[in-house]
Amino acid sequence: MTVRSGADDERSASDARRSATLPGRFAGRNALVTGAASGIGKATALRLGREGAGVACLDRDAAGLDMTVAALAAAGARAEAIVCDIAKSADVARASGRAIEAVGPIDALANVAGIGDVSGHDGIENLPDDRWQRVLDVNVNGAFYLCRALLPAMAGRGFGAVVNVSSLAGRSKSANANLAYTTSKAALLGLTRHLAFDYGRRGVRVNAICPGGVDTPMIRSAAALAAASPEASAARAKGLAAYQFFMPIQRMSTPDEQAAAILWLLSDDASYVNGVSLDVNGGLYMA
């Protein structure tokens, strides 16, 4: 998904428009963002801070977190870096408590962190237990642990919003990763709908976005792994070519475009939006 179209100056203007923030939209509120060291998570944390939120930034990558928090501090935002493996329940409980101590009660939760597994294109018979479990632990259990830790307090205050980052794979099927990834992202949509029903009546909205191809470190690492063998590279190229044929907007999105959708769902602008799986894929998947 690397097709580019339009003149360079048009692209630059478009990028500038997409980078626009709404200062003060999250003033007086506090957010927790997972996967904040890079990609969509970092873009989301930066936007939230620039729009007035205090931001607790979670990730396993301590160096990446420090860079994100430094950028937030330079923008005048309150932020805290918290190293956390969201696949571990006890780690999430600890990190959630620290987040509340550092920035205050959490009003907005963005479950962005996730992992893929591009090494299983050859079928279910070659997918071992540990790889299957690791993908589900991060992509599903991580969001579950964060929601369990934070939603009851949001409901107690009668206010809050959650956005889970699923994938086009959760709506259809991944072209790049194996069935564990597709399964995990579909499960995340089920979690979203159930929580939206349970907590909507208590003042907490729960929604999801479903990105298509996004230019993130995870996508770039997937490309590098695929290139490690001619067979994997050929399988990836075939899948991407098929996707590319049907792409109305013929390019990958930026992390900032995905962050913009997340912030809209977290904001009061989406105050009557609950239980939605928002497709943010340029029209590649339409439902």
**What's at 284, amino acid-wise?**
L
The DSSP letter of residue 126 is G
Question: What would the pLDDT profile of 216-251 be if each residue is shown by its tens digit?
Answer: 665 555 554 555 567 766 766 676 666 666 777 777
* pLDDT recorded at residue 263: 98
Give yes or no: 272 in active site.
no
Residue 123 exposed, middle or buried by CB count within 10 Å (0-12, 13-18, 19+): exposed
Q: Lowest mean pLDDT: which of 52-56, 111-115, 236-240, 268-272?
A: 236-240
Question: What would the pLDDT profile of 151-185 be if each residue is shown by its tens digit?
Answer: 999 999 999 999 999 998 888 777 676 889 999 99
Higher pLDDT, 231 or 140: 140
Distance between CA atoms of residues 233 and 207, nearest Å: 35
Rg (CA), the chain: 18
- Reported as a pLDDT band with limits 50, 70 and 90, residue 253 is confident
Q: What is the mean pLDDT of residues 259-274?
A: 98
Residue 110 exposed, middle or buried by CB count within 10 Å (0-12, 13-18, 19+): buried
User: Is the model's pLDDT at 197 over the cut of 90?
Assistant: yes
Q: What is the mean pLDDT of residues 197-205?
A: 98
Alpha carbon of 234 to those of 127, 149, 238, 240, 276: distances in Å? Answer: 20, 43, 6, 10, 35
> Which strand ranges, in their side-by-side order, compose the sheet holding 160-165?
79-83, 54-59, 30-34, 108-111, 160-165, 204-211, 277-280
Strands 54-59 and 79-83: parallel
Q: What is the mean pLDDT of residues 207-219?
A: 79
Q: At what angle do helices 217-226 and 230-245 cross, to 10 degrees?
A: 130
Domains of the chain: 25-278 (3.40.50.720)
Question: What would the pLDDT profile of 31-88 be if each residue is shown by its tens digit?
Answer: 999 999 999 999 999 999 999 999 999 999 999 999 999 999 999 999 999 999 999 9
- Reported as a pLDDT band with limits 50, 70 and 90, residue 21 is confident
- Reported as a pLDDT band with limits 50, 70 and 90, residue 261 is very high
Q: Taking the mean position of all CA atoms in its chain, how far away is CA 156?
A: 26
Pick the catalytic residue from 181, 243, 272, 285: 181
